[in-house]
Structure 1
Amino acid sequence: MREIVFDTETTGLDPRTGDRMVEIGCVELVNRVPTGATFHAYFNPDRDMPEQAEAVHGLSAAFLADKPRFRDRCEELLDFLADSPLVAHNAGFDFGFLNHELSLCELEAVCLSRMIDTVAIAKRRHPGAKLSLDALCTRYGVDRSHRVKHGALLDAELLAQVYVELTGGRQIGLELAGTVVETTVIAMPGAIVRERPFRAPRPHAASAEELARHAAFIGRIEGAIWAA
């Protein structure tokens, strides 16, 4: 099963009031495993960048000035999305901006039936808990140390790991290769983690002397079932 995890960055919160999408990042999953295929693009919004928005994602109007418009890359984006389900965190927000940009290009909107919202999934699995992407990364041991500001592709990559954990999960950092097992231990903040070296299994077969002593012992038990 192919799914696309995606995230957007914008000039604000509401496309109906003139806000625009300025970045999109998409990560392909097949059977909940990242394939390495991604789509990433910045867009010139043809408007100013509010200070509050720039503080979140760090994308200035000057940086975006020479970037393509959404319409210049929308066909490429749609080809990547194909007809796959689309996973996003607070997905209604991202779908709203994506479909607004498509409408400006006079293109058909992405059907909301394709929407998978990880906030809704997390709310069912962890009622009352914090549901931000940062909080879920912490809960599931997903490394977000390199997330200084929001970035669409980075956030999509983090969300892909969180989504896998929310929908069944795998033990992050567990690798099996030959006789060596390496594990990443996820500890609470402040905990002391001690790494244990791999130790080969010790021989544990009984010796000839031990087998003889066992046979003698069984021989003294009348009607022993072990002697059959």
Structure 2
Amino acid sequence: MFWKKKKLTYELQQSLHLNTPLQDMSFTVFDTETTGFAIGADDRMIEIGAVQVEGFHVTDRVFQTFVNPSREIPTAIKKLTNIQQAQVDEAPLPLPAIEKYFTFIEKNKSGGWVGHHVSFDEMVIKKELSRQKCTFETPTSFDTMHLIRFLDPASEQQDLEDYARIFGTEIFERHRALGDALTTAHVFTELLKKLDRQGIKTLADLLRIKNGGAHKFVSHT
């Protein structure tokens, strides 16, 4: 039987001009935790965390929810994350959890998503929605690793915690969605400051970096 997929919609801040200064932009920095890395197979999301960044500052506006994966959390993941089965068994299922996250994005008039290896976390959400016969429009997003490589092409891939130490920013609870989102947010704001000093000052500039020198962003003006 064919099931038509429902499109799950949410509103990013669509009125941004390409020349919007980065200092005037709002970003949602987010992270997910899962039962493992086989997200296209049996592994499922167990937590979403996010924090809002305004310009070059991390705000106190945060979001966190556990997610019921409808399966057992492997022992190794319990030890790594300190997330216990009882916490997710009582949590929302993936679709309502993601809807709550999208509500947080809309409420904060976010202009884009940010993550450390952001494509993985986007794929986690995409896969969970696909299981519920839902789709969503991939947002404008920025990866801290991509920005780090732009600033230092010779940079070797390191753990998020290593970059926090390099930039002298606070390290929050590791391998927890909100903690890693907060750590990423502080690294991201330091990256924005460094980019600003190198003349990367607008949304258009940031999109050129994201797209390897040529932006494909369509301004909704």
Give the TM-score, by structure 1 length. 0.67
Residue 29 of structure 2 is matched in structure 1 by 5
Secondary structure of the structure 2 residue equivalent to 1:15: coil
Letter in 1 for 2:166: R
Letter in 1 for 2:102: L
- 2:124 is the alignment partner of 1:61: no
Cα contact 1:103–1:109 (8 A) shared by 2 = no
Larger Rg computed on CA atoms? 1
Match 1:117 to one of 136, 143, 163:
143
**What is the Cα deviation at residue 130 of structure 1?**
4.3
**What is the Cα deviation at residue 31 of structure 1?**
1.6
Structure 2 matches for 1:32-111, cutoff 5 A? 32-82=56-106, 84-111=111-138
Q: Distance in 1 between matches of 2:88 and 2:99?
A: 20
Secondary structure of the structure 2 residue equivalent to 1:84: coil
Identity %: 28
**What is the Cα deviation at residue 169 of structure 1?**
4.8
Secondary structure of the structure 2 residue equivalent to 1:161: helix
Cα contact 2:56–2:190 (8 A) shared by 1 = no
Q: Distance in 2 between matches of 1:63 and 1:25?
A: 15
**What is the Cα deviation at residue 105 of structure 1?**
3.0
Go from structure 1 to structure 2 and tell me whether the alpha carbon gap of 1:164 and 1:135 turns closer, same or farther (over 3 Å shift): same
Q: Distance in 1 between matches of 2:27 and 2:40?
A: 28
Residue 154 of structure 1 is matched in structure 2 by 179
Q: Distance in 2 between matches of 1:163 and 1:87?
A: 8
Give the TM-score, by structure 2 length. 0.69
Of structures 1 and 2, the one with the larger relative CO (CA 8 A, separation 6+) is 2
Match 1:133 to one of 128, 151, 160:
160
Residue 194 of structure 1 is matched in structure 2 by none
Cα contact 1:122–1:131 (8 A) shared by 2 = no
- 2:23 is the alignment partner of 1:18: no
Q: Distance in 1 between matches of 2:90 and 2:54?
A: 34
Secondary structure of the structure 2 residue equivalent to 1:87: strand
Letter in 2 for 1:164: T
**What is the Cα deviation at residue 61 of structure 1?**
2.1
Deviations 1:77-112 (A, max 9, x none): 112223631000011110110111222233332415
Structure 2 matches for 1:201-220, cutoff 5 A? none
CA RMSD of aligned residues (A): 2.0
Which is worse superposed, 69-78 or 1-10? 69-78
Cα contact 1:27–1:160 (8 A) shared by 2 = yes
Deviations 1:192-217 (A, max 9, x none): xxxxxxxxxxxxxxxxxxxxxxxxxx
Which is worse superposed, 26-35 or 76-85? 76-85
Residue 163 of structure 1 is matched in structure 2 by 188
Q: Distance in 1 between matches of 2:86 and 2:58?
A: 33
Mark the runs of 5 or more structure 2 residues left unpaired by the alignment: 1-24, 196-221
**What is the Cα deviation at residue 34 of structure 1?**
2.3
- 2:176 is the alignment partner of 1:143: no
